[in-house]
Amino acid sequence: MGSISKRVAVITGAASGIGKAIALLLADNGYYVFLFDKDSDKLRKVFYEEFCVENASYYYGDVTLKQDVEKALAQCIQKTGRIDALISNVGVLRKVEFLNMTEQQWDDTIDINLKGVFLWGQAVAKWMVENNVKGSIVNIACMRARLVGKSMAAYAAAKAGVNTLTKAMAVELASHNITVNAVEPGRTQTDLLKSHIMDKSGEELRQKLIPLGRFAMPEEVAQTVLFLISDRARYITGACIPVDGGYTVEKD
């Protein structure tokens, strides 16, 4: 088994978007980062182009499969000997009208966005408890946990579930000195956002709905995560923190 002195953070969905930004920021701030993603080509490319191989490693896997989670966790422990933080970031938004949604579409969205948070959270929390680690877990939810748009019934339900699961985990893990919090990004400049906004006029219209007048950058969401897993946030647990430019606060 390996042994390193740096704090170790596991980030799921680390090949792109917010997950990639979190991994890069944590690496820049002295963490050893363990990247987990289902997209093997993108993950490999990002890893070798943007990370220092001495301070990072990766694993291809599916957050909805318990065996993938367990194998990835075992590999991380084998390489580093420790885990100090978990950031469950994997998420997918597939817009389908409620009346037309199939059972399979519902199950897929719930599994990726919610079951994956449970599987990774439970696996890491068990290891932390067994090894007496005062760790941190951050689950990436979404503003859609609070505000629902059309054609996102399954996604909104899953993200609301992430928030409630976060609070339940926080209550049960507090006695083990493990903090659990959620971050709720608003619209953020990622490829996922671009795939849902097809033209400049649509982008401008949506920005006008945000009090700060712009979309978030992935790095701004990452800064919130960095704070929540730091020693400065050891008394914060069970919180669901919006990072949305005020979108969920003000409506005319």
At residue 85, the pLDDT reads: 98
Task: Name the active-site residue from 31, 59, 155, 247.
Answer: 155
Task: Return the pLDDT at 189.
Answer: 80
pLDDT at 196 (0 to 100)? 55
Distance CA 136, CA 52 (A): 24
DSSP result, 37-95: ES-HHHHHHHHHHHS-GGGEEEEE--TT-HHHHHHHHHHHHHHHS---EEEE-------
Q: Which domains does the chain have, with CATH numbers?
A: 8-188+218-243 (3.40.50.720)
Specify the pLDDT at position 191: 65
Catalytic (active site) residue 60? no
Q: What is the pLDDT of residue 194?
A: 59
Q: What is the pLDDT of residue 5?
A: 85
Q: What does the DSSP 8-state code read for residue 144?
A: G
Which residue from 46, 91, 87 is spatially nearest to 222, judged by alpha carbons? Answer: 87
Residue 118's SS3 state is helix
For the chain (length 252 residues), average pLDDT per consecutive 10?
87 97 97 98 96 93 98 97 97 94 98 98 98 98 90 96 98 98 90 58 75 90 98 98 87 57
Element (H, E) at 155: helix 153-173
What is residue 175's predicted lDDT score, i.e. its pLDDT? 98
Amino acid identity of residue 29, one-letter, is: N
What is the model's pLDDT at position 248? 84
What is the predicted pLDDT for the residue at 205?
A: 77
Whole-number pLDDT of residue 146: 86
pLDDT score at 247: 87
Predicted pLDDT at 250: 65
* Beta-strand relationship, 85-88 and 240-243: unpaired
Q: How far apart are CA 63 and CA 54, in angstroms?
A: 25
Angle between helices 153-173 and 116-130 (to 10 degrees): 10
Q: Return the structure tokens found at 143.
A: 């503003």
The edge-to-edge listing of strands for the beta sheet with 240-243 is 56-60, 32-37, 8-12, 85-88, 136-140, 179-185, 240-243
120 close to 180: Cβ distance less than 8 angstroms:
no
Contact 69, 127 (CB under 8 A): no
